Structure 1
Amino acid sequence: MRYFLRLEDFTTGVAQRLSIAFLVIAASLALYQVITRFAFGAPSTWSEVITRTAMIWSVFLGVAVAFKHGAMISVEVIQTSLPPRIGLGLYLLANVGSLIFFTVLLWQGYLMTLRVMPQSLAALDISIAWAYAALPVGSGFILISVAAAMVRAAQGDWLIARNAEDT
């Protein structure tokens, strides 16, 4: 399990760096779009499409980081009001639901990416599959992160964090 948790630290670090990079790209191109549209009266045709795609990638990669740090919406109020074992069970059950959801999203995202390969992004001559690929790639990172959160919880990290909040 130690090696799996190290792998998750590495993959989540990669996801975080890529998410930040895509967010910087999106913000920069959105600013460029605003300047060209309102300052010069000549909006670019390509920056909006790349901004949208970069935001999609940023979100799907950032979710893995959010799961690692416990920043996802959860039923924490209910979990902490229950006895520790039941709260842990609820936490693990919620994560099993996340594993199922993101496994389905990975598979369906992969199929969708294959299906849209012949199509091009508006105003660009590249495949729209680059945008759709965020679903399976991001889901892969998320699955690793959720599984690692479950391992950490089973090893007692969830209980330590819970007890720290109670004091």
Structure 2
Amino acid sequence: MKSLFLSLDRALTGLSLALACALLVVISCLGIWQVAARFIFEQPSSWTEEFMRRLLIWMVALGVVVAFRQGSLVSVDLMLRVSKGRWRTVIRSIISATSLAFLSVLAWQGFILVERTRFQTFASIDISMAWAYAALPVAAVLAIVAVIAHHLDPHNDELATAQ
């Protein structure tokens, strides 16, 4: 069961990282197009800035999933560095439980926000605001999987290289 869960996590984390990288490429291309349209063609694009903002929200949300999996949790790293054995396990459990509580609230409230904004559209692009706000619950659910996977199979890359 643990190996199946960790396999699912590897797939989700890999997909999140790949999508975040792809979104960075798309955002960069849109930014270049926006500058070219404004200064070279003298026809400013009305939709690129708005679209880039929404894609940036998704990129960051997907990047957070990868950060949670790698153990880049918002935590008291000093306590983890100085603790050993059982005490370290207790601290890690508290950090994981706190992260899971936060992400659960974020997912729940994110679903409510998506539901409330599903009929509203952005001014310059005719897309529902729910698509942008959906990044919150989607990333929260994926991050919950990442936190559980990190708790089961910790990757402490940042902790090992911290000074």
Report the TM-score when normalising by structure 1: 0.86
Work out the number of aligned pairs and report it: 161
Distance 1:165 1:117 in 2: 44
Which residue matches 1:52? 53
2:71 is matched by which residue type in structure 1? G
Distance 1:73 1:108 in 2: 20
Unaligned runs of 5+ in 1: none
RMSD between aligned residues: 2.2
Distance 2:23 2:80 in 1: 34
Please list the CA deviations of residues 127-163 of structure 1 after superposition, one character each: whole Å capped at 9, or x if unmatched. 111101111111111110001111114xxx66xx97x
Which residue matches 1:129? 130
Distance 2:135 2:161 in 1: 35
2:36 is matched by which residue type in structure 1? I
1:122 is matched by which residue type in structure 2? A
2:146 is matched by which residue type in structure 1? S
What is the CA-CA distance between 1:165 and the residue it aligns to? Answer: 6.4
Q: Give SS of 1:122's match.
A: coil
Distance 2:4 2:114 in 1: 31
Change (3 A) 1:85 1:38: farther
Q: Give SS of 2:75's match.
A: coil
1:138 is matched by which residue type in structure 2? A
Query: In the alignment, is the contact (CA less than 8 A) between 1:79 and 1:88 conserved in 2?
Result: no
Moved more, 43-52 or 89-98: 89-98
Which residue matches 2:9? 8
Distance 1:89 1:40 in 2: 60
Q: Give SS of 2:124's match.
A: coil
Query: In the alignment, is the contact (CA less than 8 A) between 1:106 and 1:139 conserved in 2?
Result: yes
Distance 1:111 1:86 in 2: 38
Which residue matches 1:87? 88
Query: In the alignment, is the contact (CA less than 8 A) between 1:26 and 1:51 conserved in 2?
Result: yes
What is the CA-CA distance between 1:23 and the residue it aligns to? Answer: 1.5
Which residue matches 1:103? 104
Distance 1:35 1:165 in 2: 42
Distance 1:35 1:98 in 2: 43
